[in-house]
Structures are given as C-alpha cells and as structure tokens.
Chain A
Amino acid sequence: MQWETVIGLEVHVQLATKTKIFSGSSTAFGAEPNTQASAVDLALPGTLPVANEEAFRFATMFGLAVNAEIGKRSVFERKNYFYPDLPKGYQTTQLAEPIVGTGFIDLELEGGRTKRVRIHHAHLEEDAGKSLHEDFAGMSGIDLNRAGTPLIEVVTEPDMRSAEEAVAFAKKLHSIVTSLEICDGEMSQGSMRFDVNISVRPKGTEKLGTRTETKNLNSFKFMEEAIALEVERQIDVLEDGGKITQETRLYNGDTKKARSMRSKEDSNDYRYFPCPDLLPVILDDEYIETVRKQMPELPEAKRARFVEQYGLSSYDAGQITMDKFSAIFFEASTKISGEPKLTANWIMADLGAYLNRTEQRIDHSPVTPELLAGLVVRIKDGTLSSKIAKQVFEAIANGEGDADTIIETKGLKQVSDTGALEKIIDDIIAANTAQVEGYRAAAEDKRAKMLGFFVGQAMKASKGQANPQALNELLIKKLNG
C-alpha cells in the first residue's frame, strides 16, 4: 500500500525581549541557576504578573508577517498542571482569544514547487523552567531562570506531507522570526522548539490517521530524522495490522531513537480558565499600523530586492535571504568588495561548507564580511586563481590574517607576469619534445584536448600560481611556434 504522511507543527518561539513576559527579570541566556528568577517567577505568595508590552509588539509583528489577523482583544488563561519547572502550578497562556489568528506561510520547495501551510493560530505564553537530571543523590535540580520567558506558540494546520516540507516550513519560520528580530534563532539554546504531530493514511484517502506528537525537537536535522523514524514506525505498525496509539513521544538525537512518553489516557485535564490577575489586552488599528511600519524587511521582500539591486539569480537570492544573518553578511561584504555575485557564491559554497563543518553560525564566523571581501577583491583583480583562493580562504579561517597578508607571507600571488611564465613554458617545451611534436602534428580540433597536458605541467611547475588565462594564451602561442 502507498502511504501518505500528514504533519502538523506546534512551534515554541522564544521572544527576544529583554525581560520576562510577566516580570522584570532578565531573559539573558546562560546565567547561573536561579539568578534570574524573581519573586514573581518563583510564584512567591502575593506576587502578581504584569504583561510586557514588547512581547505584544513582537507577537503582532509575527502575525503581520504570516498574513494573519491580529487579535484586537486577547486574553490570558491559566493552564493547570503540576510540574516542578512550573512554579505557579499553572502556565499562563492564551486559548480562546489568542493574539494571532489564522494565517499562512508560503514555502518554495526544490524544483520550484510551492506550498502553502496554513497557520491555525499563534498565542503568547510563558516558558517553563528546567529540570536538571544530573544526580543530586537521587534528586533533580530545578532552575527557574527560563520560567516566564515569553514564547509564541505557532500552531499549523496538518498541511505538510513530508519531512522535507516540514523542515522547509521550520526553516522559513526561522528566517521570518530572525528577520523580524523577535527571536534570536539560537536553536541549540532552545530558542525554537518543535513539536511534530505525525500521522499516516493510505494515499488517496481523506480521513486522518491517529497521530502521535514528538516533542521538543530543537534542530532541523533532528526534526527530519524524527519524522522519518516515526513515519516508518507507524507504517510498520499499520502494515502489521496494528493500531497507532495516540501518544506523546520523545526523540533522542544522540541515539537516533524515539520512545513513548505518555499516552492520551494519562493526559491531563488542564482546567483552563481566564487568569483573574490579568485583564484583556486590547490593541487597536492604530497600534497595529504603527507596528507594521516598524517591521524590519521580511525575507521575501529582501529576496526581491537582492535580485533587483545586486543582480543575483532568484535562487541565489533565496538562499542568501533564508537566514537573516547570511543576508546581513552578504550586504556587508558586498559593500566593501563591490562584487555581489562572487560574494554570494562564496557564501553559499566555501563559507557555507566551512561553517557547516565547524558547526558555527555565520554571524559568529571567524571569516568576517571584511575578510571575505578582501579575498573576493583579490580574485576579481586576478591576483588569485580560484584554486589558490580556496587555500587563502582556509588560511583566513585559521586566523592567519587577511587575504593580502596571507598572499604576501605564503607567496601565493598568481603569476601573470609574461617573463616568468615564458621561462616556465620554455622549460616544459624543452623537456617534452615528443609531446610538442605530437601537438604540432595534430589537427586543429584535437589540439585543444592535448593542451591540457602542457597546462598541467606548467601549473605544477608554478605551484599552481600561474594565471590560467595568461598561461593558456602564452602556451598556444609558443606551441604554435
């Protein structure tokens, strides 16, 4: 039987506010445990929440970016359950009246295919703290620094049909929230966490299968792996005549295994009700328009601008603008070098590969926009061959200095000087008389192929530094006698 995968996502996006959603505690990452947990965050008795205006501004921007209606009246509710990382015994969240209503995101997939994923809604809520499971003599340690960090939870319709589509959605969402500067996008720090609802059904049928939810995936890679694994598991179960149990699952990115966390029967009765400590938040049209005007450029607009302004291909512009930081990098570097196409190529190819390999982010790249521009300028003016340029790039990445310093100290300057090249060519002609004879005897159309041998020899002799264009011209001239 042919199976179809159906995927819906719930994404927790940590908002990059300076303070928590209901208290004036800092949200900075990496502080000592519980040093950013105030009386409100610790739910000490008698404390009260006051909502952060920036969280609403950010959520409004997000809503506008995903073509959604903004909830002019939004209401916080209490979601009741006991857990040590939830100090109040309830999470303050939104349910019936969220800040962001229905919207959509359009995806561009490989092969130029496009796909619209509908957003069911997005709501504001507070993050929980963390349980540290290191052994404190059989106890867990609770750090509440994260408790109260503002989140928007984005809930999609079950519109995705493959891991590829889900990952494309996740990447697009990442690019939107980072471009809006409402989230730092640091997935390894939990700034974006994905819950994936997965079901399968016989291809061609309408009825949705029983779904499972794999929680808390914090990288695109894990998301892709977890979906593949779960789809395979569900198909196996169904093909063996089994039934899928509605359950919550956990995927372990290290072991590449998933397990059941709890089934629906154990699920809580959350007893939502409007939070009496907080009043309805009312946003008017004027406010929404003001926010709209303040919004940074979105990836789609940026892509169009890059095509227009820099002459990039639509594909390249799409790649570069996918990540806010690569777009920033591109513009900064191009501004210095004046070479958009070459810069884009280097960002997508060598720099991209290097950052991937060393697991670094482009905004933390040791090869800065200035350093890349220095390299690109030397490629453009013919100082470096593209082959040598790769060598110089590696040296820059190793912190050996800028392109000019490395060219100088390593003597990597491309040899275009006719005198030096003539000497090399003369030596090669003298040492390979048979090949020269052969070349000269050959028909015109065969010669081009035979030229390669001499180019190779000359490059070898020049340690790769010969300017290929000058070398070619001179070789042909000399060989032709």
Chain B
Amino acid sequence: MAVDRSDIAKLSKLARIQISDEAADEAAKSISDVLALVDQLQAVNTDCVLPMAHPLDAVQRLRADVVTEANQREMFQSIAPAVQDGLYLVPQVIE
C-alpha cells in the first residue's frame, strides 16, 4: 500500500509529528517503501490463526492494593520544563 501526501498529513496530525511540505514527498516515499516490505504479509492465509500479542503465554500478575509510593514531587519536577505551584504548565487547554 502506498501512502500519499494527504495520508502523511493525517498521520502527522495523529502522531503530532510535524512534517514540512518539502519533506512530505520524501516521507511518503520512505513510508511507502516500508509498507511495500510489510505487504508481503498479505500473501499468507491466516484465517485460522489467532493473533499473538505476546511471546509468552503468561497471564497478568496482580498487585496488592497497598500504597508504596511516597510524594516525590520535588524530585520529579526538578526535571520538568515548566512548573508553577506544583503544577505542570502547558499552553492554555481549551475544551
């Protein structure tokens, strides 16, 4: 499956990755190349095969409902780009 500039625009929006107009054609080409590789999968009949999300047939272990985390706000926010009054700052969120 080949992708075009409009696909790239859509993907760019979904993934929040900016792609300039100049780079869009090249991005479309290289992604189309990857998809061409991937399209080999379509030739195989997998009608009776269940998808495998995980290599091991393991099941989830559950954790006891016990508080184990202490407040480390100061440390966590020491690596944050913008904080005020203990809050992470972002450009105004408009709902």
Q: Which of A28-36, A322-330, A399-407 contacts B (4 or more CB under 8 A)?
A: A28-36
Does the CB pair A141–B84 fall under 8 Å? yes
Report B-chain residues with C-beta under 8 Å of the C-beta of A82: 16
Between-chain CB contacts (< 8 Å), 15 pairs: A18-B66, A24-B66, A25-B69, A34-B86, A39-B76, A51-B62, A52-B62, A80-B14, A84-B90, A136-B89, A141-B87, A143-B86, A261-B95, A271-B14, A281-B60
For the residues of A in contact with B, the DSSP-based class is loop
Chain A interface residue number, banded: 35 or more
Report A-chain residues with C-beta under 8 Å of the C-beta of B60: 51, 278-282
Q: A44 at the A/B interface (Cβ < 8 Å)?
A: yes
Given A52-B63, A136-B89, A141-B85; 16 other pairs, CB 8 A cutoff: A18-B65, A18-B67, A19-B67, A32-B73, A35-B73, A42-B76, A53-B62, A82-B16, A139-B84, A141-B87, A141-B88, A144-B88, A269-B14, A279-B60, A282-B59, A282-B60
Report A-chain residues with C-beta under 8 Å of the C-beta of B68: 19, 24
A-B pair number, CB within 8 angstroms? 122
Show the binding face of B for A, using Cβ within 8 Å. Answer: 14, 16, 53-54, 58-69, 71-73, 76-77, 82, 84-93, 95
Q: A56 at the A/B interface (Cβ < 8 Å)?
A: yes
Interface string of A36-60 (1 = CB under 8 A from B): 1111001010000011111110000
Q: A228 at the A/B interface (Cβ < 8 Å)?
A: no
Q: A276 at the A/B interface (Cβ < 8 Å)?
A: yes
The 3 closest A-B pairs by CB, nearest first: A141-B87, A24-B68, A53-B62
Report B-chain residues with C-beta under 8 Å of the C-beta of A17: 65
Show the binding face of A for B, using Cβ within 8 Å. Answer: 17-19, 23-26, 32-39, 42, 44, 50-56, 80, 82-85, 131-133, 136, 138-144, 250, 261, 268-269, 271, 274, 276, 278-282
Does the CB pair B86–A32 fall under 8 Å? yes
CA distance A268 to B66 in the complex (A): 36
Report A-chain residues with C-beta under 8 Å of the C-beta of B85: 33, 136, 141
Report A-chain residues with C-beta under 8 Å of the C-beta of B86: 32-35, 143
Does the CB pair A38–B72 fall under 8 Å? yes
A140 in contact with B91 given A44-B76, A54-B65 (CB within 8 Å): yes
Tell me the smallest distance from the CB of A82 to a CB of chain B, in Å: 5
Residue of chain A at shortest CB distance from B95 = A261
CA distance A56 to B91 in the complex (A): 37
Q: Which of A32, A53, A141 contacts B89 (CB 8 A)?
A: A141
Tell me the smallest distance from the CB of A236 to a CB of chain B, in Å: 25
